[in-house]
Amino acid sequence: MNQQGVPSAVNFYNEFKKLSTGDQNIRNGVDLLIAILTKNDYFDSKVSVISVNAPKKQKPYFNLQNGNIALKLDNTDLTKNNANFELLVGSVKQTPEDNAQKWDAKDGKLSVQLKDYNIANELSLIPFFLETLTVKSPPSKDNKDFLHLKDKWVREFRENSNIDFSLHSLNLFENKITALTFNNKSRSESDQYNTSFTLNTKKLVYRNKVCKLRICRFQFH
């Protein structure tokens, strides 16, 4: 993990110390995660996993091979955040005792790009969400601060995103999909929101019946 431009006022040691001295709760954990991800100018991290095995009743149950996660953030202006996320998985499978419930997937890739995204407005709403997790009874009236931030989020919302997903093969409950690709492009401009979805697969086997879905495209304006 690499960070650049971390303000001197941010002391990650003190934040971790809070979590290790009995003061651990959801709010502190979320605050620490947000600080690590956004209290900097640039964030760059990568996690690689060679193999993960999770047995059940002393028998093989879940296995993941060759996983990689990468995240890059440009936080110089949180109202115009740029983000790149990538997830790669060589293979993953689950092997319960019931053969009809077994599944496996190979060569999966997920790539997400966000450009000029106003993440500051999103972050401002998180404390209100966390508060709902601990409230014992519904509030008697609306929170004016929350309503103000909600209206601000609506007025300033903008999105320029691209999502790509691909999978070499998926065997799911005796059904099989080969060469699956999915793409979603979204863009908001001049009070107009445009998004498109494209789904493509080379071969689909459903209950021993073979069919092909070359291109399936949806667009919303």
Mean pLDDT to the nearest integer, 76-90:
96
Where in the chain are the domains? 43-116+159-220
**Residues 204, 180: Cα–Cα separation, whole Å:** 9
- The tokens for 164 are 């790509």
> Taking phi first (over 0 means left), then psi (-120 to 50 degrees means alpha), and beta for anything else, what does residue 129 get?
alpha
pLDDT given for residue 205 in this prediction: 82
List, in order, residues 6 or more apart from 182 with CB less than 8 Å away: 163, 164, 165, 166, 197, 198, 199, 200
Q: Are 34 and 126 in contact (CB under 8 A)?
A: yes
**Prediction pTM value:** 0.78
- The tokens for 40 are 């900097």
| 177-186, long-range: CB < 8 A, 24+ apart | 177/201, 177/203, 177/204, 177/205, 178/202, 178/203, 178/204, 179/203, 185/161, 186/159, 186/160, 186/161, 186/162
Q: Is the pLDDT of residue 18 over 70?
A: no
More confident residue, 44 or 175: 44
pLDDT given for residue 23 in this prediction: 46
> Taking phi first (over 0 means left), then psi (-120 to 50 degrees means alpha), and beta for anything else, what does residue 173 get?
left
For 133-170, write each residue's pLDDT tens digit.
777 787 788 889 999 999 999 888 888 999 999 999 99
Mean of all residue pLDDT scores within the chain: 84
